[in-house]
Structure 1
């Protein structure tokens, strides 16, 4: 597989019970007391397992998905074991507002953000001067909100590729983006002072913006299932009904 593949899943599709989890995953989920953290943990694995099933031709029945395990390395990056053996494909997974996206490829990072207002302080503290000018040049409202969240999302994707996450100063990587084409995908590039330059893709999906970064330039990501589900998705914050530990 040379081109990245992506798949989105919503919280509403999570099944009752944990028969689809590997034993270690079920134990980890049971130990998460806060509903928000538990739901996000489950949703990320639900998305990864369905992506792996689609790529490998594996059944998406619970017993089969239980054979796909998604542990994390010490630095937090996910990896996949299929019946105990490494999948051999890198995966990145992200979740936001009741939706998760998995992207599979090589040296890949992805991030999903809700298009929402970002304060001037946020833009000033986390974006470079050039990125701040990019955001400020957009009309106030949705266009400016989308620009700020796009730049932030691309940084998150790149920092996942670098395996540092937000432990690193987000202003140490500089993002530039191109306009979307007819298929909805736009290009992006990310540079850090001493890092391998990264390229990638971004797209607006309804209330969300999705970014993908990689060190190996290639074609735009290919959907693994029916495209459009994320574009029409309603952001969901079910944990607000029960925010405290159970």
Structure 2
């Protein structure tokens, strides 16, 4: 649906990988060869091994995503493609210390990483990744609207967990796109309906309504893949193509 890179003048490149630590053994053993001093300082602050690995994998994926988003692909050292954070916590990319480049959104869950990058800095969007698992009734009661709660509770079988995680993920992607994160009440966006079987390994549209002052028109896309749900919130008034970057073996 959105995979043809020649149909659109504006592109968002994206990458998704699950349980990917085995692909980065060389980086794990020699992080100094892949990260600059600022990134290494951030990496070494992590104490919990799982969080440390999560950080390393997500950064390496972003570096490959960014390099592959140019034509021809960048051949710079990974140390020259760096991921920084604004004071708000929003990540961004620098290339060879030349300042901010493009727009980046990043999410990870249960060993999986989902990232998207556009070379156009003004093209804001947000992504989120959730492992499809049981969600607590308390989370649904606290963060979902009454209508969303009814959607989840009226679902059957495995759709219960899928719908709960899809709704939560869509909220996260939208709030990232408008650069608010969880500063806003998650009930300011309401998912209206989920079409059966839509989003299975292809991008589907998600119907929603949002009550955010001054908010532009947005579109939320989703797909289900390898036990995860991926959501992407993009401007609704632009013709945007999505191109998947395949991770090198």
Q: Per the shorter chain, which TM-score range?
A: 0.7 to 0.9
Unmatched 5+ stretches in structure 2: 1-8
Tell me the equivalent position of 2:110: 97
Correspondent of 1:171 among 177, 187, 194 = 187
- Identify, as 1 or 2, the structure richer in strand: 2
> In the alignment, does 2:160 pair up with 1:144?
yes
Return the match for 2:205 from 178, 187, 191: 187
- How far the C-alpha of 1:170 sits from its partner, in A, is 1.0
Shift of 1:23: 1.6
On the 8 A contact 1:191/1:198 being kept in 2, the answer is no
Alpha-carbon distance change, 86 to 197 in structure 1, aligned in 2, over 3 angstroms? same
Change (3 A) 1:80 1:113: same
Q: Indicate how the Cα distance of structure 1 residues 126 and 99 shifts in structure 2: closer, same or farther if over 3 A, else same.
A: same
Root-mean-square deviation over aligned CA pairs: 2.3
Q: Distance in 2 between matches of 1:187 and 1:65?
A: 35
Q: What whole-Å deviation, never above 9, does each CA across 1:15-66 have from its counterpart, x for those lacking one? A: 222111122101111122222332222122112111101112013xxx7111
When the two structures are aligned, how many residues end up with a matched partner?
224
Secondary structure of the corresponding residue to residue 190 of structure 2: strand
What corresponds to 1:3 in structure 2? 11
Secondary structure at 1:66 match in 2:
helix
2:68 to 35, 54, 61: 54
1:36 matched residue in structure 2: 50
Cα deviation per residue 1:203-232 (whole Å; 9 max; x = unaligned)? 0012100000123444463211169x9xxx
Identify the residue that residue 87 of structure 2 maps to in structure 1.
Answer: 74
Q: 2:34·2:77 contact (CA, 8 Å) conserved in 1?
A: yes
For structure 1, which runs of at least 5 residues remain unmatched after alignment? 230-246
TM-score (norm 1): 0.82
Measure, in 2, the Cα distance between the counterparts of 1:84 and 1:34.
30
Q: Which moved more, 1:103-112 or 1:174-183?
A: 174-183
- Equivalent residue for 1:64, pick from 74, 77, 82: 77
Whole-angstrom distance in 2 between the partners of 1:126 and 1:46:
32
Alpha-carbon separation, structure 1, partners of 2:41 and 2:14: 27
1:112–1:181 distance in 2 versus 1, CA, 3 Å: closer
